[in-house]
């Protein structure tokens, strides 16, 4: 049941991720053209992509991270459209998608860690990418594990696991920036 | 599709998955919202920096009238001219006149734009490890021109500054060998970094940054005379509370 969501998730989630990566890249170029440029997502001291975008972590592989997002999410959207059009891919295709989303989810968690504990600022567009990468990885994994017993168990509690996953990250963010959030209320 | 399934299996209740999902989300919202709302104090709190950010148990106190006393916290850079000006015109006298009534805490906030600020902070912290932070603090500011300036400009003469710090250390009566070892130690560097991190959490952007009972002191006067009067007025107002 839960894995029927994969094609739609790939199109919608991948599309959102693509848009966020694209905007980040545009902002990055604007920042390079004019170092004084304040990106649209720099809202306050905590929510500030300007301070995140200039860090070494924003070019983890020697090039701007959004380039990875633009290419990766474009592939995800294409795969999703193919699946919706009736494409029944062979197993290797699914494993390829698994490899891509696994890389994405590991990279995203490294970025979350860096953002919270090294950079100490949050970049809203980046958080959009975090939010779509996790379910993309999760439901692709469930699809690929569907015929195994562990997979069936996880699939039965698919949204519970996902909700728990998000709650943990939100809690880490809340704790880390507590002093700041509490001044806003 | 879900409807069919429920009918087919004869279940009238949502699945365990749905219940658990809703449970997690509700608990998260209640906990986060609850803590956020109950943690909210009086409206003043929004403009007050929490005292655990401003003062640590081991922070250096120039004067100590206890934890309940009016507390002044200064984030300072030993080489910043404005800090030296504050010292000479405001804080030195406040320390003397209010010493028995307020707790005056000083924290390191060396700025990168001052080449000798970090070294001076290390000298003060190293003296602190022999129990003489306050003495070194006074020596550094009382003799500001001797190490911090060259021909009236910010100096970057490390050798001269080190020689001056050694002189101060000898005058204070420090164990010079230990003083040098402490200045180069990670413990001292970590402590300065921790002070600076707290300063950043308190949104300190420049020095000196003075907090009276958690409120940033922002004078409107142009001369040190006016600044000093405003500072004393705010102190008196807090003391009268």
B140-191 pLDDT, tens per residue?
999 999 999 888 888 889 999 999 999 999 999 999 999 999 999 999 999 9
CB atoms within 10 A of CB A5: 17
Distance from CA of B196 to the nearest CA of A (A): 14
Distance from CA of B234 to the nearest CA of A (A): 23
Domain range annotation of chain A: 2-184
Q: What is the pLDDT of residue B47?
A: 65
Which two structure tokens, joined as six digits, stand for B67? Answer: 């934890």
Contacts 24+ apart (CB under 8 A), A47-50: A47/A121, A47/A122, A47/A123, A47/A124, A48/A121, A48/A122, A48/A123, A49/A24, A49/A123, A49/A124, A49/A125, A49/A126
- CA pair distance B11, B6, nearest whole angstrom: 5
Taking CA–CA distances from A170, the nearest residue in chain B reads B28
CA angle B143, B148, B151 (to 5 degrees): 105
**Could you identify the residue written with the tokens 């989303």?**
A101
Contacts of residue A54, defined as CB under 8 A and 6 or more positions apart, other chains included, come to: A31
Distance from CA of A40 to the nearest CA of B (A): 22
Q: Does domain B51-240 have CATH number 3.40.30.10?
A: yes
Is the model's pLDDT at B46 over the cut of 50?
no
CA Rg value for chain A: 18
Distance from CA of A162 to the nearest CA of B (A): 8
Which two structure tokens, joined as six digits, stand for B101? Answer: 């009534």
Distance of CA A184 to the CA centre of its chain: 27
Distance from CA of A86 to the nearest CA of B (A): 19
Query: What are the pLDDT digits (tens) for B71-95?
Result: 999 999 999 988 999 899 989 988 8
- CA pair distance B210, B129, nearest whole angstrom: 24
Q: What predicted TM-score, i.e. pTM, was given to this entire model?
A: 0.54
Q: What is the pLDDT of residue B125?
A: 94
Predicted ipTM of the assembly: 0.79
Residues from chain A that touch B53, judged by Cβ atoms under 8 A, are 179
Q: Are A138 and A158 in contact (CB under 8 A)?
A: yes
Is the model's pLDDT at B193 over the cut of 50?
yes
- CA pair distance B93, B105, nearest whole angstrom: 15
The band of B203, judged by pLDDT with boundaries at 50, 70 and 90, is confident
Q: Where is A51: in which H helix or E strand? A: helix A49-53
Q: What is the pLDDT of residue B143?
A: 93
Do the chains contact at B37 and A185, CB–CB below 8 Å? yes
- CA pair distance A95, A143, nearest whole angstrom: 10
A158, A170, A182 ranked by CB distance to B17: nearest = A158
Backbone angles phi, psi at A111, to 5 degrees: -65, -40
Do the chains contact at B16 and A163, CB–CB below 8 Å? no
Do the chains contact at A183 and B17, CB–CB below 8 Å? no
Is the model's pLDDT at B110 over the cut of 60?
yes
For chain B, give every residue range classified as CATH 3.40.30.10. 51-240
Q: What is the DSSP string of B9-53?
A: HT--SPPHHHHHHHHHHHHHHHHHHHHHHHT---GGGGGS--HHH
Q: Is B40 on the interface with A (CB under 8 A)?
A: yes
Q: Is B82 on the interface with A (CB under 8 A)?
A: no
Is the model's pLDDT at B42 over the cut of 50?
no
Do the chains contact at A159 and B18, CB–CB below 8 Å? yes
- CA pair distance A78, A72, nearest whole angstrom: 10
Residues from chain A that touch B28, judged by Cβ atoms under 8 A, are 167, 170-171
Residue B58 is classified by DSSP as: T
Do the chains contact at A179 and B20, CB–CB below 8 Å? no
Task: Write b or e for each residue in B115-151: b if 16 or more Cβ atoms lie within 10 A of its Cβ, otherwise e.
Answer: ebbbbbbbbbbbbbbbebbbbbbbbbbeebebbbbee
Q: What is the DSSP string of B116-165?
A: THHHHHHHHHHHHTTT-HHHHHHHHHHTHHHHTEETTEE---HHHHHHHH
B17, B32, B36 ranked by CB distance to A156: nearest = B17
Closest listed residue to residue A63, CA positions, set A98, A22, A28: A28
Q: What is the pLDDT of residue A183?
A: 60
* Local mean pLDDT, 10-residue blocks, chain A (185 residues): 83 97 93 85 80 88 94 97 93 96 97 91 93 96 90 91 95 82 60
Do the chains contact at B17 and A185, CB–CB below 8 Å? no
Residues from chain B that touch A171, judged by Cβ atoms under 8 A, are 28, 32
Q: What is the pLDDT of residue B5?
A: 45
The fourth-level CATH superfamily of domain A2-184 is VKOR domain (1.20.1440.130)
Contacts of residue A131, defined as CB under 8 A and 6 or more positions apart, other chains included, come to: A166
Which range has the worst mean pLDDT, B50-54, B99-103, B178-182? B50-54
Residues from chain A that touch B52, judged by Cβ atoms under 8 A, are none
Q: What is the pLDDT of residue B72?
A: 92
Is the model's pLDDT at B40 over the cut of 70?
no
Is the model's pLDDT at B8 over the cut of 90?
no
Q: How many Cβ pairs within 8 Å bridge chains A and B? A: 43
Q: What is the pLDDT of residue B74?
A: 93
Bond prior to B138 in cis (omega within 30° of 0): no
Residue A47 is classified by DSSP as: B
**Could you identify the residue written with the tokens 């979350």?**
A112
- CA pair distance B132, B178, nearest whole angstrom: 13
Do the chains contact at A163 and B25, CB–CB below 8 Å? yes
Which two structure tokens, joined as six digits, stand for A29? Answer: 């170029």
**Chain B interface test: which of A5, A180, A182 (most B C-beta within 10 Å):** A182
């Amino acid at each position: 049941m839960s894995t029927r969501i994969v094609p739609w998730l790939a199109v919608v989630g991948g599309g959102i991720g693509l848009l966020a990566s694209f905007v980040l890249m545009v902002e990055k170029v604007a920042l390079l053209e004019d170092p004084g440029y304040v990106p649209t997502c720099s809202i306050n001291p905590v929510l500030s992509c300007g301070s995140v975008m200039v860090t070494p972590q924003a070019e983890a592989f020697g090039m701007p991270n959004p380039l990875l997002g633009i290419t990766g999410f474009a592939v995800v959207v294409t795969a999703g459209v193919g699946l919706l059009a009736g494409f029944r891919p062979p197993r290797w295709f699914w494993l390829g998608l698994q490899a891509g989303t696994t890389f994405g989810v590991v990279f995203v968690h490294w970025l979350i860690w860096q953002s919270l504990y090294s950079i100490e600022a949050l970049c809203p567009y980046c958080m959009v990418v975090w939010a779509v990468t996790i379910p993309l990885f999760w439901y692709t994994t469930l699809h690929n594990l569907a015929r195994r017993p562990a997979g069936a168990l996880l699939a039965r509690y698919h949204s519970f696991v996902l909700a728990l996953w998000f709650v943990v990250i939100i809690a880490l963010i809340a704790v880390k920036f507590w002093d700041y959030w509490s001044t806003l209320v | 599709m879900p409807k069919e399934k429920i009918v087919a299996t004869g279940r009238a209740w949502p699945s365990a998955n749905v219940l658990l999902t809703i449970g997690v989300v509700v608990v998260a919202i209640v906990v986060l919202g609850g803590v956020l709302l109950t943690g909210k104090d009086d409206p003043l709190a929004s403009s007050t920096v929490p005292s655990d950010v401003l003062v640590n148990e081991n922070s250096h106190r120039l004067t100590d009238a206890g934890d309940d006393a009016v507390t002044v916290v200064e984030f300072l850079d030993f080489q910043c001219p404005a800090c030296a000006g504050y010292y000479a015109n405001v804080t030195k006298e406040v320390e003397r006149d209010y010493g028995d009534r307020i707790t005056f805490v000083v924290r390191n906030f060396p700025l990168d734009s001052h080449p000798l600020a970090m070294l001076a902070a290390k000298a003060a912290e190293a003296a602190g490890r022999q129990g003489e932070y306050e003495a070194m603090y006074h020596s550094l500011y009382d003799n500001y021109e001797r190490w911090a300036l060259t021909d009236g400009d910010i100096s970057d003469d490390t050798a001269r500054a080190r020689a001056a710090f050694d002189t101060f250390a000898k005058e204070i009566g420090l164990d010079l060998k230990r003083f040098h070892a402490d200045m180069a130690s990670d413990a001292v560097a970590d402590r300065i970094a921790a002070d600076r991190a707290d300063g950043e959490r308190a949104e300190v952007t420049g020095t000196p940054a003075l907090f009276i009972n958690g409120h940033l002191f922002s004078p409107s006067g142009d001369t040190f005379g006016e600044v000093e009067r405003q500072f004393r007025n705010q102190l008196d107002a807090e003391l009268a509370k």
